[in-house]
Structure 1
Amino acid sequence: MYVIDMFNKKTTMPTVATALPGRVEPIATAETHFVSGRPLKGPYPDGMATVYLGMGCFWGAERLLWQIPGVWVTVAGYAGGYTPNPTYQETVTGLTGHTEVVKVVFDPAIVSLEALLKVFFEAHDPTQGMRQGNDIGTTYRSAIYVENDADLQTANRVRDAFQAALGGAGRTSKVTTEIIPAPEFFYAEDYHQQYLAKNPNGYCGLRGTGVSCPIG
């Protein structure tokens, strides 16, 4: 039997054997975006592209991303772990392996993936490993999950450009962003969706490095 301690901010990834078992059925979430009214789970318009971005706590990250022209809808959720259909209380133990991510559905005719990744790298500190500021644990690691090989190449190229920019600014820390093909995405609970639109004075942990990304 697993005892869940939501204050145990683990920084070591679990294995398939040690991860929480989860559940078969998806957890309940909102149907539409609180700000735009668009459907969170689709259908999405033809021509849309998708990327999943982990920048620490997804509340502030989602608010930043839904305001970008060309972004059609954003959704808070969990990805990159082992536990099927996890709850928030499970993810924060570090025993699911997931990180908090924002699913970003965007129109590449209006905003490019490069432009989104420029915002991504500038808006948080992607060198901190299993944390963002005071938010510590695997669930707060930096991540880019992409849906095809071309996007994977783009993400790696922008990462390398930002790493060079960090070096040029005299920073010796290395980018730790996890960049992989998109694993299964699980929608977060209703109250997490567009949290800072519902709670304008709520917590936002986004803190950048002050270094500009030269691509995008």
Structure 2
Amino acid sequence: MFTLNRKKMEMVAPDAALPGRPTQIPTAERHFLSDLPIKAEVPAGYAEAMFGMGCFWGVERVFWQLPGVWLTVVGYAGGFTPNPTYEEVCTGQTGHNEVVRVIYDPARISYEDLLRVFWENHDPTQGMRQGNDLGTQYRSGIYVYDDAQRDAAEASRQTYSNRLRDAGFGPVTTEILDAPTFFFAEDYHQQYLAKNPAGYCGIGGTGVTCPIGTGVAS
């Protein structure tokens, strides 16, 4: 068991990743809560963000509750296997992270507010795990769509790293990368905790606040 867990917590080499498939796996057609198309385009004037911070069931719920967030979708990103299934991601042999794609209205909620919610709702010092969830699919990650997002993400990481250090936590392990290809997760994962309110949610914050954004999205 220890050897298996350790293997899942090490990033797979690209040439050792599972082959995947050339076509998308089936997913939901519409958002369970808003009834918007799951694969909706970003409306004019809106923006998108992508985060990995543990089990994507709980992460998606954190973001769909925020005023100004228009659509949330869960999926896989940051690895090497095209169009992976959940079972494949769980082996640790795809390299993918469980992520949430967020489409939001910048006039109502800023990217800095999203970053504050990101930092305060998980422990970004745990490496390839989040709580009892072990594996590369649970790593902390911010996946940026432009230079402005990258600058904001890197500045927030430094600010929060200092706060965590002062509170006695270890180094932040969050990766900040250009947004990779997003692969939609299966139908049953979309808005899972709205469909299953008593379902497992393995994310939790450190209790350390992050002093960025307006504070309206708490």
TM over 0.5: yes
Pick the aligned partner of 1:201 from 198, 204, 210: 198
Alpha-carbon separation, structure 2, partners of 1:8 and 1:59: 24
Unpaired runs of at least 5, structure 1: 1-5
Q: Matched residue of 1:17: which SS? A: helix
Q: How does 1:27-46 map to 2 (within 5 A)?
A: 27-46=25-44
Match for 1:154: what amino acid?
A
Matched residue pairs, number?
210
Q: Deviations along 1:127-156, whole A, 9 cap, x unmatched?
A: 000000000000000111010111001000
Alpha-carbon separation, structure 1, partners of 2:59 and 2:5: 22
Q: Matched residue of 1:170: which SS? A: coil
Task: With the length of structure 1 as denominator, give the TM-score of the two structures.
Answer: 0.94
Alpha-carbon separation, structure 2, partners of 1:156 and 1:126: 14
Alpha-carbon separation, structure 1, partners of 2:112 and 2:171: 20
Aligned residue number for residue 216 of structure 2: none
Match for 1:175: what amino acid?
V
Instruction: Report the CA distance shift for 1:9/1:104 in structure 2 as closer, same or farther (over 3 A).
Output: farther
User: Is the counterpart of residue 184 in structure 1 residue 181 in structure 2?
Assistant: yes
Instruction: Report the CA distance shift for 1:130/1:8 in structure 2 as closer, same or farther (over 3 A).
Output: closer
Aligned structure 1 segments of 4 or more residues deviating by more than 6 angstroms: 6-9
Contact 1:70 1:107 in 2 (8 A): yes
Alpha-carbon separation, structure 2, partners of 1:190 and 1:29: 4
Contact 2:139 2:174 in 1 (8 A): yes
Q: How does 1:1-216 map to 2 (within 5 A)?
A: 10-171=8-169, 173-216=170-213
Deviates more, 1:160-169 or 1:61-70: 160-169
Whichever structure has more helix as a proportion of its residues is: 2
Task: With the length of structure 2 as denominator, give the TM-score of the two structures.
Answer: 0.93
